Amino acid sequence: MDLTIIQIILVIIVAFLAGVEGILDEFHFHQPIIACTLIGLVTGELIPCLILGGTLQLIALGWANIGAAVAPDAALASVASAIILVLGGQGESGVSSAIAIAVPLAVAGLLLTIIVRTIATAFVHFMDAAAKEGNFRKVEMWHIIAIIMQGLRIAIPAALIVAIGARPVRDLLEAMPAWLTDGIAVGGGMVVAVGFAMVINMMATKEVWPFLAIGFVIATIPSLTLLGLGGIGVALALIYIALTKQGGSGNGGGGNTGDPLGDIIDNY
C-alpha cells in the first residue's frame, strides 16, 4: 500500500520515539509489541502489525544486554519489519516474511548502535568539561543531542524504507518462491521458540515450573480467550504473592527458612 504524507510523518515519529526509548526505557516504545502496534495504528494495518509485534516480542524476550555484550536491536527490527509488512500489502499472510526480515535487521542494527554509542562517548567528555565550568545548560544540551542521535538511529532507516516505496517492496516479496516463504515461516517459528526457551531458562525455578505446566494445560482449552488466560495468570500471581507472605514457623516449628511458600507446603 502507498502511505500518505501524514502517515509517513507519523511513522517517522514512531520510529524516532522507538529509538529514544531504546535508551531511556521509560515508556517502552522500543518493545516490538508497542512499536509494531503503533506503526499499524498510524498506517491502518493494525491487525497484521499487532500479530507481528506479538511474535517479535516473544523473540525479543530472550534479548538482553549482558556486560559488554549488546543485544540485537529490537527497536530497528520492529519498526523496519512493520513498515515492510505495511508496504508489502500482504496483510497477515506477510507476517512470516516480515519476521524473517526482522531478525537480520536486528543484528545489523548492532552496527548503528555501536556507531551512535561511540560518538556519544565523546559527548561525555564535552559534558565533563561543561560541568567543570559550571555550565549546566551546556550539559543538558549535549545530553539532549545524544538522545536525539538515538532517535535518528531508527528514524533515518525508517525514512529510507518508506522512500523506497510500496512497489519495490511488494515486488520483492512476491518474487520470493513458495519454498523460501515456507522455510521462512518454519524458521521464524523456531526463532520464537528459541527466544521463549531462553526466557524460561533464565526464570526457571522449582516454584515457577508448576505455574508453567498449568498455563500449558489451560491454553489447550479452545473456549478460553487471551483475556481469560491473562485473568487466570493474574489470579495465580496474586495467590502466589499471598502465600509467600504467610510463610513462617507454622505447626512444624522450624521457623522461616527463606522459602515462605516452601514452608507452607512442608507444613501440609
In terms of Cβ atoms closer than 10 Å to its own Cβ (0-12, 13-18, 19+), residue 39 is buried
Q: Which amino acid is at 223?
A: S
| Alpha-helical regions (H) of the chain | 5-24, 32-43, 46-60, 74-88, 95-133, 136-164, 166-175, 178-203, 209-219, 226-244, 260-267
Q: Is the pLDDT of residue 33 over 60?
A: yes
Q: Which residue from 100, 95, 73 is spatially nearest to 85, judged by alpha carbons? A: 95
At 49-65, the pLDDT tens digits run 999 998 888 777 766 65
Distance CA 235, CA 232 (A): 5
> Phi-psi bin for 119: left (phi > 0), alpha (psi -120 to 50), beta?
alpha
Read off the DSSP letter of residue 252: G
With a threshold of 0.85, does the pTM exceed it? no
Distance CA 71, CA 113 (A): 10
Q: Is the pLDDT of residue 249 over 60?
A: no
Distance CA 258, CA 133 (A): 51
Cell numbers of 187, please?
524458521
Q: Which residue from 199, 196, 180, 14 is spatially nearest to 100, judged by alpha carbons? A: 180
At 93-143, the pLDDT tens digits run 888 878 877 777 776 777 788 788 888 888 889 999 989 988 889 999 999
Going by pLDDT thresholds of 50, 70 and 90, the confidence category of residue 190 is low
Cell numbers of 159, please?
525514512
At 196-239, the pLDDT tens digits run 676 677 767 777 788 878 888 887 888 888 788 888 889 988 88
CB 55 within 8 A of CB 188: yes
Q: Is 201 strand, coil or helix?
A: helix
Distance CA 58, CA 95 (A): 14
**76: Cβ contacts below 8 Å, ≥ 6 apart:** 19, 105, 106, 108, 109, 112, 153, 154, 157
Distance CA 22, CA 205 (A): 29
Strand partners, 69: 66
Window from 68-77, 91-100, 169-178 with minimum mean pLDDT: 169-178
